[in-house]
């Protein structure tokens, strides 16, 4: 792996097969969509799902393969990447399934919706497989530029435009921070390759670049904090969640968070693993702040999307706790947590989209009043999701919290574990309030709800929520998968 020699190896193309397939399929869909009439959008829908299915199939083939580098270390295919990519593709597929009737009713079911999401997915896949600072940045920009446009998809809504501008300005700032940090790392080590940065980072006190590295690290952590939405870099999150069409909120809260975890893993563990005592301290500060800000402010929200935005912030806090001992088991717990959170977020926003009819957004918590009388099945699904988000056993969310708490206590940070559970108790209140509204309050209107007759959506949503119950019993295989993926990838070879 000589960085000065740029050699093309055709075997690299095989390593990148899922990405290349997705890119080819997306370009084909782009062309096909040009010739479709608005009434034929279902063809785009089916093709997009097929493209994702094909990508998932290719990913599944190499899920257990050992780590492979491609293009002179620019690209890494390993267990973590495979795991995260599969779930990224899954959540994107769920976004498509859930969005069809919602977007059609709002006249937003345009070809761009599919194309931008597919490009964002490609960006996420690149990001979690990044082996060099350049790939990280390219993947990230592909993801975020697509996301900005997606948030603004509803051009007539001032709320959406405001959210998109906010997202864009703050996102650009975060990218700037990240780039600045990257340039410092490059300055200190003279390489863009993550593994080589890790090997060359000289941490002895007398080393000339110690300060430079530390500054670079700070900027990287700030950038990662922005992308994840950790406090105090969370300001964009509630507005974007609130302003974006719910389909896009769903995407930002699930797939894109999975990719952000992958990025954090590549940058912190992959490039700066030797400095983990420095970054664990920073992350624990971010974690505690996120837990506090997320859980406390969520109580005051009356809008469910904003409440879930603050809930995301608190979950990011929990997730960061998984990183704090810098071991494979810890990051495995964080990845496990994020997968769990992505499933819960898709279920929660899915129910909101199901209940939303044209001209009526089921966004305020009061809109859910008496849902149990109007539609007991989906009230049950929402209740499962809320209890799971609150971390009540036997649901999946509890076990994700359990694994992170185990990591934290194992690392000797008992006080952090206690802070985390105290905020979990505070958080319990606002999740219970949603259940309370659905089950205990009388409905404003007794009539049964007219739900969209979109059967794939309804089936997928029910399966999504029931998965939270099933995974509560049978979460062992997923945990083993996370552990194996991480154990094979940490520590990174030089």
Binding positions for another protein, rule: CB under 8 A: 372, 376, 387, 392-394, 398, 402, 405-406, 409-410, 414, 417-418, 421, 424-425, 428-429, 432, 435-436, 439-440, 475-476, 479-480, 483
Q: Shortest gap between Cβ of 421 and another protein (angstroms)?
A: 5
Distance in angstroms (rounded) separating the CA atoms of residues 327 and 491: 9
β-strand partners of 360: 357
Per-residue H/E/C for 289-300: HHHHHHHHHHHC
Distance in angstroms (rounded) separating the CA atoms of residues 51 and 423: 41
Between 282 and 420, name the residue whose CB sits nearer to another protein: 420
Between 26 and 372, name the residue whose CB sits nearer to another protein: 372
Q: Shortest gap between Cβ of 80 and another protein (angstroms)?
A: 17
Q: Which pair of structure tokens corresponds to residue 359?
A: 């001209």
Distance in angstroms (rounded) separating the CA atoms of residues 167 and 252: 11
SS3 70: strand
Query: Is the CB of residue 488 less than 8 Å from the CB of residue 66?
Result: yes
Q: Shortest gap between Cβ of 327 and another protein (angstroms)?
A: 13
Q: Shortest gap between Cβ of 124 and another protein (angstroms)?
A: 27
The DSSP string of 376-433 is: HHHHHHHHHHHHHHHT-TTSHHHHHHHHHHHHHHHTT-HHHHHHHHHHHHHHHHHHHH
Between 3 and 376, name the residue whose CB sits nearer to another protein: 376
Between 357 and 433, name the residue whose CB sits nearer to another protein: 433
Between 414 and 444, name the residue whose CB sits nearer to another protein: 414
Per-residue H/E/C for 127-164: HHCECEHHHHHHHHHHHHHHHHHHHCCCCCCHHHHHHH
For the chain, report the end-to-end CA distance as a whole number of angstroms.
Answer: 10
Q: Shortest gap between Cβ of 46 and another protein (angstroms)?
A: 32
Q: Shortest gap between Cβ of 254 and another protein (angstroms)?
A: 25
The DSSP string of 94-117 is: HHHHHHHHHHHHTT---HHHHHHH
Query: Is the CB of residue 488 less than 8 Å from the CB of residue 67?
Result: yes
Q: Shortest gap between Cβ of 373 and another protein (angstroms)?
A: 8
Between 182 and 417, name the residue whose CB sits nearer to another protein: 417
Between 75 and 387, name the residue whose CB sits nearer to another protein: 387
Q: Shortest gap between Cβ of 49 and another protein (angstroms)?
A: 30
Distance in angstroms (rounded) separating the CA atoms of residues 129 and 313: 25
Q: Which pair of structure tokens corresponds to residue 447?
A: 């009539």
Between 34 and 447, name the residue whose CB sits nearer to another protein: 447
Kindly state the DSSP code that residue 447 receives in the 8-state scheme. S
Between 263 and 335, name the residue whose CB sits nearer to another protein: 335
Q: Shortest gap between Cβ of 189 and another protein (angstroms)?
A: 36
């Amino acid at each position: 792996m000589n960085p000065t020699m740029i050699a093309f190896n055709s075997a690299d193309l095989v390593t990148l097969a899922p990405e290349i397939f997705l890119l080819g399929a997306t370009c084909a869909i782009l062309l096909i969509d040009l010739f479709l009439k608005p009434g034929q959008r279902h063809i785009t829908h089916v093709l997009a799902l097929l493209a994702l299915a094909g990508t998932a199939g290719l990913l599944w083939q190499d899920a257990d393969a050992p780590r492979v580098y491609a293009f002179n270390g620019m690209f890494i295919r390993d267990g973590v990447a495979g795991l995260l990519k599969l779930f990224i593709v899954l959540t994107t597929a769920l976004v498509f399934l859930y969005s069809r009737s919602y977007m059609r009713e709002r006249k937003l079911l345009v070809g761009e919706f599919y194309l931008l999401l597919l490009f964002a997915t490609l960006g996420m896949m690149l990001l979690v497989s990044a082996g060099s600072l350049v790939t990280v940045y390219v993947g990230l920009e592909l993801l975020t530029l697509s996301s900005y446009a997606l948030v603004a998809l509803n051009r007539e809504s001032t709320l959406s435009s405001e959210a998109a501008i906010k997202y864009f300005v703050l996102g650009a700032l975060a990218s700037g921070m990240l780039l600045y940090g990257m340039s410092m790392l490059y300055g200190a080590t003279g390489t863009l390759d993550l593994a080589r940065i890790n090997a060359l980072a000289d941490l002895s006190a007398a080393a000339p670049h110690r300060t430079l590295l530390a500054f670079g690290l700070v900027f990287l952590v700030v950038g990662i904090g922005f992308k994840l939405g950790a406090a105090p870099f969370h300001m964009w999150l509630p507005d974007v969640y609130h302003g974006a069409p719910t389909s896009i909120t769903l995407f930002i809260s699930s797939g894109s968070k999975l990719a952000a975890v992958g990025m954090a893993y590549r940058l912190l563990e992959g490039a700066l693993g030797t400095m983990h005592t420095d970054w664990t301290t920073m992350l624990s500060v971010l974690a505690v702040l996120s837990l506090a800000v997320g859980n406390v402010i969520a109580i005051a929200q009356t809008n469910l999307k904003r409440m879930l935005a603050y809930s995301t912030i608190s979950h990011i806090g929990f997730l960061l706790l998984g990183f704090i001992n810098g071991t494979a088991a810890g990051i495995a717990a964080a990845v496990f947590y994020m997968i769990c959170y992505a499933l819960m977020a898709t279920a929660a926003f899915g129910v909101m989209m199901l209940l939303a009819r044209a001209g009526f957004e089921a966004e305020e918590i009061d809109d859910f009043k008496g849902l149990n009388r109007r539609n007991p099945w989906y009230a049950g699904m929402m209740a499962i999701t809320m209890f799971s988000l609150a971390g009540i056993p036997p649901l999946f969310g509890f076990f994700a919290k359990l694994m992170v708490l185990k990591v934290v206590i194992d690392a000797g940070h008992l006080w952090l574990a206690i802070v985390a559970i105290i905020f979990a108790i505070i958080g319990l209140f606002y999740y219970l309030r949603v259940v309370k509204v659905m089950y205990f309050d009388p409905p404003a209107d007794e009539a049964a709800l007219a739900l969209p007759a979109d059967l794939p959506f309804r089936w997928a949503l029910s399966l999504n929520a029931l998965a939270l119950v099933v995974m509560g019993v049978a979460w062992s295989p997923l945990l083993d998968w996370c552990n194996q993926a991480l154990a094979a990838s940490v520590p990174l070879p030089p």
